[in-house]
Amino acid sequence: MKLNLKEHLPPLSALGPIIALLVASIFFTWQSEHFFSGQNFSLILQQVMVVGVIAIGQTLIILTAGIDLSCGMMMALGSIVMTKFATDLGMNPYLAILCGMLACVLIGFLNGALVTMVKLPPFIVTLGTMNIAFAVTQLYSHAQTITDIPEMMSFFGNTFSIGQTTVTYGTVLMLALYGLTWLYLRDTAPGRHIYAIGNNPEAARLTGIATGKIMLGIYMMAGLFYGVAALLSVARMGVGDPQGGQTDNLDSITAVVLGGTSLFGGRGSILGTLIGVLIVGVFRNGLTLMGVPSVYQVLVTGVLVILAVATDQLTHKKG
C-alpha cells in the first residue's frame, strides 16, 4: 500500500509561511549573535503587537473577499479620542478608552453598512473612510501629540519577567486575542459562515446564512480590534500620536497575505496571520541588527508580498 505524502501534508499555503519564518530565523541567527535570544524575541513581539492586533480585524475582512484600507487611520483616531478625552475633558481613563474604541466601532459600522446595504466595493468605501478618519484625527488633535496621559493607559506597555526575559502585557493581550479569534473561527457557526461568505456569498445566502448581518458584524468587530490596537499604541508610545497608523493598513495586509490568507476570500487562518506578522517582525529586526538601512527593509517586504500574492494566485487558479 503506497503512502501518498501529498494527501497527508498540509497545503503549500499553510507550510510556506512556517518555512519562511524558520529560514529567516536561521539566517539572522547566523548573521547576528544578538538575534537568537529571549529578550530579542520579546522585543520583536513588542514591535509587532499593534500591527498584529490590527491584522486580526484585517484577516476577518479579507476572509470575506473584502479589504480594509482605513484600519490604520481608525487606530490613530481611536488613540486621539481616548487620550484627549482623558487629558482635556478629565474623563475617567476607563471611560475614555471605551469612547476611543467606540469611535473605531462606529467607523467599522459605517464601512459595513456601505458595503452590505449600499453595495459599494470595500476598497472604495475604506479608501474614503481612511481619508475621513485622517482628517478628523488631524482637526481634533490640531496635529499635536497628546502627552501627560493617565498612568493607567500605559498599563499594557508594562513588563513582567520570565527568567531573564521581560515581556509586556500588551504582547500577552495580542496573543490572547489571536487565541480567541482562532476559537471563534473554528468552533462557532458565525465563524464558519465567514468562510462560506468568502467562498461564494450568493450560495451562502441561499443556504440561509444572514450574509448582510454577518458582514456588518465583521466590520464592527474589526473596528473593535482597531480600538484595542489604539490602546496598545498609546501604551507603547506613552502618547496619543495623530501621525500614527499611516502605514499600518499596508503592514496589516502584508501580514495577512504572508500568512497564507487568500485575497480572493474563503481560505486562510488567523494563526497564519500571526506567523505573517512574525515574518515581518523578524525580517525588520534581523535586518536592523545587520545594519541594513530601513529602505532595504521595505524593499525586502515588498518582494515577500509579491511572492506571497503570486503563490496565492497560482493556488487559486489550480483550485
Instruction: Look at residue 219 in the predicted model and tell me its pLDDT.
Output: 97
**pLDDT by residue (tens digit) across 154-182?**
999 999 998 889 999 999 999 999 999 99
Taking Cα atoms as reference points, which of 178, 207, 209 lies closest to residue 194? Answer: 209
pTM for the model stands at 0.93
**DSSP notation for 42-55:** HHHHHHHHHHHHHH
Contact 69, 302 (CB under 8 A): no
Instruction: Look at residue 246 in the predicted model and tell me its pLDDT.
Output: 86
Handedness of CA 226, 51, 124, 309 (dihedral sign): negative
Kindly report the number of other CB atoms within 10 A of residue 243's CB atom. Answer: 12
Q: How far apart are the first and last CA of the chain?
A: 28
Q: Look at the block and give the residue holding cell 505573517.
A: 276
Q: What is each CA distance from 40 to 122, 147, 257, 281, in whole angstroms? A: 38, 28, 25, 11
Instruction: Look at residue 176 in the predicted model and tell me its pLDDT.
Output: 98
Q: Which residues have C-beta within 8 Å of that of residue 290, sequence separation ≥ 6? A: 28, 31, 32
Residue numbers of the chain with a pLDDT score lower than 70: 1-13, 315-319
Taking Cα atoms as reference points, which of 115, 315, 281, 53 lies closest to residue 304? Answer: 281
Cell of 131: 481619508
Alpha helices for 188-210 (secondary structure H):
189-199, 201-206
